[in-house]
Structure 1
Amino acid sequence: MAIKPRKPKAAPKTKPQKQYFGMAEWYGQLYRNLGDAQRKLYAETKNTLEPCPFLHQVPALGPQSGKLHCNKKGGVCSLRNFHDDVTFGPITATCPNRFLENATIVRHIGRVLLGADTPLFAKEIAFLKRPKTGIAGEAEAAAKAEEEEAEEAEEDSGQEAAAVESGREDVGRIDLVFVHPDDSEKWCAVEMQAVYFSGGKMADDLTVIRKHAGNAIPMPGSARHPDFRSSGPKRLMPQLMIKVPTLRRWGKKMVVVIDRPFLDSMSGMEPQDHISNCDIVWVVVRFDEDVVHGSATLVIDQTIFTTLDHAVKALTSGMPTTLPDFEGKLSGKLAPAISVSPAAALIVPPGLAED
């Protein structure tokens, strides 16, 4: 009987270092600049009692209720990585309202796409027709009724939450449209994509803040990180794949507003040399800090023209593994799909026994 050689022991795996992303901006102010008293005050403040500085700068793009308070539970505008020596990574937006600062993107999109710095706008335009008959129609009607009830409740409370956060993501609408003020046939669709995060709750940070003493900057209360995969391939990519082909047939462009860390999480996109050859215009912003005044300023980092195909490839982020690598991983994970005891294996089903 041949003796199989023992497999060499695999080198011990090194655990990836935990990422402690905490508040970058809190109610529009740089977290690192806040003193202990201000942090403790914000930790006890209900977000709806605080004004959103970015909505106040572009009130027309705010909620239909006209209430311009913070509509992000906890009031966190953006996140950044905290390092043990209290140095900080770049700022990445977690609230889409963060992109409205000083109407910078409004003027930029109007100028690049429409040739007008002050475009008109419309929000929540129906895009896909829902089925009206059969089981699918009944389900859609029920879902629509639930949406309307939730929207009425939000309107009554003055709280307009993002649909994706409340579980009511609707690819059947175009969220925002900019239109040339003198030519209604010149328009573009706009999508502002902030990032979600995975890991510990922000409430853990509030607990640390309440217990903290002194003006030193408290570290985040738990490990978390921006979830670019949920924000990109799982949320943004379906939006683009559903809406862009129709917009392309209509001769219109989709504009996607993201920040620099979001772009860096994607694989490289092959840019087109002219807007006429693209399907999607990526407006990439960054947040330049002014530590003296305790704020960060939104700046246009770059504008990229791409096709839908190149955008999808970039959002899926990564090259396929090789067949040998895949099968090597597969062999290490194989296990019986059905457990069969030796006694049960001897039982022959009726009709299969030999004569």
Structure 2
Amino acid sequence: MTKKKKLSRRPEKQKQFYGIAELYGNRFIDLPNDERKRLVQAKNTTVTCPYFQQMPALGPQSGSINCNKTGGVCSLRNFHPLQAPGDDITFGPITATCPNRFLENGTIIKHIGKELLGSDSPLIAKEIPFLRRPLSALEAENAPNAKEVDMYAVEDEGIEDSRQEDVGRIDLVVVNPDDGTRWCAVEMQAVYFSGGAMTKDHNNILTFIGNGVPMPGAARRPDFRSSGPKRLMPQLMIKVPTLRRWGKKMVVVIDRPFLEALDDMEPIDHISNCDIVWVVVDYDETEQACKAVLKIHKTIYTTLEDAVKGLTAGKPTTLPEFESKLERKLKRPVAKKL
């Protein structure tokens, strides 16, 4: 009987405990215990979003400036567990999980207007239809004079069509107030997270006593792989080629931790030669008490092709390495046979 070869165990990955960095615009580590408890038990639709309050034109069409994100968490950061008794918890940088976080004081809009359009007081428009759904052969045959329709209804025209789908809209367009032909498209990309639900932190918050900060109730981490290649990259690949033909730029807003999770992108030396303008922000925690203030970290110009390489952020494995991993998977008890 042949002895089975023992598979070597891979070293366990260190768990990451990303918890609340900002709650309804307040820096979590500065909040008194009573206020933390009140806010985590509040219904988000009853609490004002400070960023909608500062930029109401970019809030919901209803005119409400209350938070539209369940739980009210604006951003996350890594809580580093105590290494020894008596140590203080240390924290990693802030990364936004809600795109509304990027609206603070209109800082980004002013920067985009000045950098691309020559005006730091630009006009803004939301959710402009971008793609048209082609008619199927059957629709064209049954209605020869029918026209393709926008994927999104244009509200002013009162169009309603059950065939419209949730795809093909430019989220934000920034326009020079003196020349309507000078404009750019904007995508604001926050990060999704993987791991335990944020509600798992609530018990730690509600039962915490003392002067420190409660640790997160579950392991979780920012999922830059889902946010970049799976969400942002398809948006760019669909929209940028058309914008490029029109002679327009796509602006992508991300924060510094998101940029650092990307592979290196070759920057272009002048805006005239780029397809995408990356506006990267960071959060200054020293300027204002109990707040993290959004600042422009850097602006980067790239082509679409180099952006795709950066978002993919990985090199293909070798064939032997791939087949070795495949062999290990097949030897596991959970491997299914047909």
TM-score range, shorter-chain basis? Answer: 0.7 to 0.9
SS of alignment partner, residue 292 of structure 2: strand
1:122 to 120, 125, 145: 125
CA distance in 2, matches of 1:272, 1:208: 47
Aligned counterpart, 1:103: 106
Moved more, 53-62 or 82-91: 53-62
- The letter of the residue matching 1:29 is N
TM-score by length of 1: 0.82
CA distance in 1, matches of 2:195, 2:228: 17
1:311 to 303, 307, 314: 307
Contact 2:287–2:293 (Cα < 8 Å) also in 1: no
Aligned counterpart, 1:159: none
CA shift for structure 1 position 210: 1.3
CA distance in 2, matches of 1:188, 1:178: 6
Closer/same/farther in 2, CA of residues 21 and 286 from structure 1, 3 Å limit = same
CA distance in 1, matches of 2:99, 2:245: 28
* Counterpart check, 1:201 vs 2:201: no
Closer/same/farther in 2, CA of residues 272 and 136 from structure 1, 3 Å limit = farther
Aligned counterpart, 2:36: 39
Closer/same/farther in 2, CA of residues 13 and 249 from structure 1, 3 Å limit = same
- The letter of the residue matching 1:118 is S
TM-score by length of 2: 0.86
- The letter of the residue matching 2:265 is M
CA distance in 1, matches of 2:203, 2:137: 50
- The letter of the residue matching 1:120 is L
Contact 1:192–1:256 (Cα < 8 Å) also in 2: yes
Count of aligned positions: 310
Aligned counterpart, 1:154: none
1:238 to 234, 237, 248: 234
CA distance in 1, matches of 2:283, 2:177: 29
SS of alignment partner, residue 238 of structure 2: helix
Contact 2:7–2:328 (Cα < 8 Å) also in 1: no
CA distance in 2, matches of 1:20, 1:333: 28
Aligned counterpart, 2:145: none
CA shift for structure 1 position 13: 2.1
1:277 to 273, 277, 283: 273
Gaps of 5+ in 1: 138-143, 152-167, 340-355
Report 1:289-304 matches (<5 A): 289-290=285-286, 293-304=289-300
Closer/same/farther in 2, CA of residues 249 and 291 from structure 1, 3 Å limit = closer
1:174 to 170, 176, 187: 170
- The letter of the residue matching 2:217 is G
SS of alignment partner, residue 332 of structure 1: helix
Contact 1:171–1:242 (Cα < 8 Å) also in 2: no
CA distance in 2, matches of 1:299, 1:103: 11
CA distance in 2, matches of 1:255, 1:124: 15
Name the Cα RMSD after superposition: 2.5
Aligned counterpart, 1:323: 319
Instruction: Give the greater-gyration-radius structure (CA).
Output: 1
CA shift for structure 1 position 239: 0.3
Aligned counterpart, 1:54: 51
Contact 2:276–2:303 (Cα < 8 Å) also in 1: yes
Closer/same/farther in 2, CA of residues 216 and 135 from structure 1, 3 Å limit = farther
CA shift for structure 1 position 169: 8.5
Aligned counterpart, 2:93: 90
CA distance in 2, matches of 1:305, 1:89: 27
Contact 1:123–1:175 (Cα < 8 Å) also in 2: yes
CA shift for structure 1 position 66: 1.2
CA shift for structure 1 position 337: 7.7
Percent of aligned positions that are identical: 63
CA distance in 2, matches of 1:303, 1:169: 33
CA shift for structure 1 position 203: 0.7
Gaps of 5+ in 2: 83-88, 141-148, 156-163
